[in-house]
Amino acid sequence: MYQLNIDLRPGVGAGTFDLGHSLWQVINIIREDKTTYPKVDLQWDVDSPATSPIILRTPHRLSMISVHTLRSSPPLTLRYKDSVISSWSPDNQADVVLRRKDVGSAFGPTYPGDSMRYPGVWFGFDDDRDQGKPHAKPSADDRTMQVRKVVITQKGEKDALEEPEACPAMHGELHRARIRLHEGVDLYFYPSFTTAVSVRIGQTSAQDLSLDVGTPLRVYYKEDDRMNIHASAQTQQDDAVSDYFYNYLQYGMDILISGKTHIVKKIILHSNIPGSPMFQRYKRCPWEFVGADKESRGPSFIDKIDAIQGFVAPHLQEKPLSMVHDRLEDDGLALPTTTRLIGFDGVVLETAESELVLSMTLF
């Protein structure tokens, strides 16, 4: 039988998971280890999928890890500083039961209470499955109480469901993408003191992208010409030389580059909304528009289409016409609904029934 081994790192993580990991990273880790995680239940609030915590306990970045039911299948071993503090297996007679006194021995003294709390980790003695059931509550002075749950959080006083603070696991990841209509985007990476990288439509070259943003995970040569019916004759002539995409899946971004000049033509940003057709193909790009004063924040990926329309087309009185975008034909996805494309000057938005923006194309 497979044995699950987890190293506790208070304030940092547990096993292969680090606090601060994005949802995209967490799901990819799980996908790559199907022996350990043969089935995972992913749940979210369908009314606010862009902002609600996801059960995996993360609002798109891992902020808390909870290890509970320590003594049930599959067999589980917990380690702290290379020492086994809890282990269980139906075939193992030398089980190690983690009790209150063992926590005190390994982690030192702490304040009295129903749980034992330390910076970055706490230990609970109630089983989540017994909530709401009448039972005798054990005395907090009982040193033989068995640990039922271990929770790893960031150090410091904050709600575990809040956005996690910047930490080493985030270094090199995209923190913000500030959209400047008709110009391009400014990319801000962790840590926060790094200089922004500007990607400009009609100016930035493929070489600039490789040097400043990094090597894309994939390069894809454009073959879909269906949108040419909406393009000018000059645009169709320019497309005769095959354009190509730099696919930055790790930043939630695609960049279309001219095959003729090797200059950026379009920028596509993905919101990675749970339940959407492209969910988990890209990491979320945390995009936001730059305000009218060029410094303040405009609408972002958490806002609905009405707020964004009011920003990009403030004088438009009616909702613009939209086109159906059926990904069943493009990607072979069997989905109950389609998405819609809505165009404005300099930007095309792909929206869902929830009216959230799933992706946007800047040109």
Report the distance separating Cα 305 and Cα 285, nearest Å.
17
Does 195 share its domain with 247? yes
Q: Is the pLDDT of residue 68 over 70?
A: yes
Same domain (yes/no): 45, 192: no
Q: What is the pLDDT of residues 142-182, one digit of tens each?
A: 888 999 889 988 877 666 556 677 888 888 999 999 999 99
Alpha-carbon distance 106 to 85, whole Å? 8
Are residues 216 and 334 both part of a single domain? Answer: yes
Quote the radius of gyration of the chain (alpha carbons, Å): 25
Provide the domain limits for residue 108.
4-153
- 166 found inside a domain: no
Confidence tier at 237 by pLDDT (50, 70, 90): low
Identify any residues that bridge with 67 across adjacent strands, giving them in sequence order. Answer: 150
Would you say 1 and 8 are in contact if contact means Cβ atoms under 8 Å apart? Answer: no
Please give the pLDDT value at position 59.
38
Domains in the chain, number: 2
Same domain, 119 and 201: no
Q: Report the pLDDT averaged over residues 31-52.
A: 74
Mark whether 97 and 185 lie in a shared domain. Answer: no
pLDDT attached to residue 39? 66
Q: What is the pLDDT of residue 187?
A: 97
pLDDT of residue 128: 60
Q: Is the domain of 188 the same as that of 144?
A: no
Average pLDDT over all residues of the chain: 82
pLDDT of residue 329 exceeding 70, the answer is no
Among 77-81, 89-93, 146-150, 260-264, name the one with the lowest average pLDDT. 89-93
> Among the three residues 153, 185, 204, which one is the final residue of a domain in this structure?
153
Is the domain of 142 the same as that of 13? yes
**109 and 35 belong to one structural domain:** yes
The pLDDT of residue 134 is above 60? no
Residue 112 and residue 100 in contact, taking contact as beta carbons nearer than 8 Å: no
pTM of the model: 0.73
Q: Are residues 36 and 147 in the same domain?
A: yes
Q: Given pLDDT bands bounded at 50, 70 and 90, which one contains residue 57?
A: very low
Question: Is residue 158 in some structural domain?
Answer: no
Domain shared by 64 and 96, yes or no: yes
The verdict on 143 and 205 lying in the same domain is: no
If DSSP codes are grouped into helix, strand and coil, which group holds residue 20?
A: coil
What mean pLDDT comes out for the span 197-220?
97
